Structure 1
Amino acid sequence: MVQFEGKYTHQKNENLDEYFKALGVPYIPRKMMCSSSPSLEISKNGEEWNVTIATLMKTTVNKFKLGEEYEESMPGGILKNNTILEGDKLITKSVGPNNTNISRIYEFSDDGCVIIYKHETSGIEAKRYFKRM
């Protein structure tokens, strides 16, 4: 099994602007998020996972136990999340404001992590690539 825990540096994005547009993120915040180069850190303490995404402007820390619902504060409102482990993937299913369904799939390899964002209603997907430090 691939090592999940560690620090990762951002490499590139695919289709991120279209994904944020589908979520209804306004133009200026959308452009700022797309141009950011976040760092990613995954750690685990017992049964609790910590996923930290940090940019110059904001650091977001999600703490959760697999299979248990948790909340995440986003610019557009609160997401209700549930994360499971499936092979070399952490899969987070989220329900946001107006019952918007989205998912994030963290695919791990020996080289790094790819986060696949899916807007379930429109089918739009985006990817963020990270290299293991």
Structure 2
Amino acid sequence: MVEFAGTYAHDRDDNFEEVLVKVGVGFLFRKIASRAKPTMKVEVKDDTWTITTVLPIKTLVWSFRLNEEVELEGPEGKMKATFTLDGNVLKQMPTEPANEKAMSVLREFSDEGLKQDSESGSAFTKSGYLVKRNTGEKLVRGQGVRKQRTIARISRSLTASSSFAGK
């Protein structure tokens, strides 16, 4: 049996920025998010799951029960979804398919880590997360501080450029 609970460090993704464009994420946040290497912590207590995703500029915390509709807030805005478990795959399916920001996510857990596939309309991305069990909070926060400094530098350079400032 695969253990779902753990802390996962982002390793790679393919085509992520295109998905962010498809769900309407703004230019600046899209650039920051596509360069970020978030940390994801998965906790399971009784029948409640909690997924905490630490991004450079925001921390997302989603708590839910399997097979129940829940409202989620993410970088793309609010949406309603249902989570189901199929073996070692946690499926996040939108309950409002007409919502153009709705995103389907499959998280496949294994002894090696977590593989996440996201889809919105015709845009599809694959993300790889490596499992980092027994990772201290200090390490996660330390990585976030470095990322925040890098993002602040990118943000300052983007707003300072005349082509960006004029839009």
CA contact (8 A) 2:2 2:111 kept: yes
TM-score (ref. length: structure 1): 0.91
Matched length: 131
CA RMSD of aligned residues (A): 1.6
2:80 corresponding residue in structure 1: 80
Alignment gaps of 5+ in structure 2: 133-167
1:53 corresponding residue in structure 2: 53
Mapped partners of 2:96, 2:38: distance in 1: 22
Mapped partners of 1:13, 1:77: distance in 2: 21
Deviation at 1:98, TM superposition (A): 5.6
Q: Deviations over 1:10-65 (max 9, x none)?
A: 11111101111111212211111111110011111110000110023111010000
Larger Rg: 2
Mapped partners of 2:111, 2:41: distance in 1: 15
2:65 corresponding residue in structure 1: 65
Mapped partners of 2:75, 2:7: distance in 1: 25
Q: Deviations over 1:73-119 (max 9, x none)?
A: 23443110100000110000125696234201001111110111011
Mapped partners of 2:97, 2:91: distance in 1: 20
CA contact (8 A) 2:39 2:53 kept: yes
Deviating more after overlay: 68-77 vs 82-91: 68-77
1:89 corresponding residue in structure 2: 89
CA contact (8 A) 2:20 2:76 kept: no
* Larger fraction in strand: 1
1:102 corresponding residue in structure 2: 103
2:39 corresponding residue in structure 1: 39
Aligned-residue identity in percent? 30
Deviating more after overlay: 87-96 vs 45-54: 87-96
Q: Secondary structure at the match of 1:128?
A: strand
Q: Specify the code of the residue in structure 2 equivalent to 1:116.
A: D
Alignment gaps of 5+ in structure 1: none
* Larger fraction in helix: 2
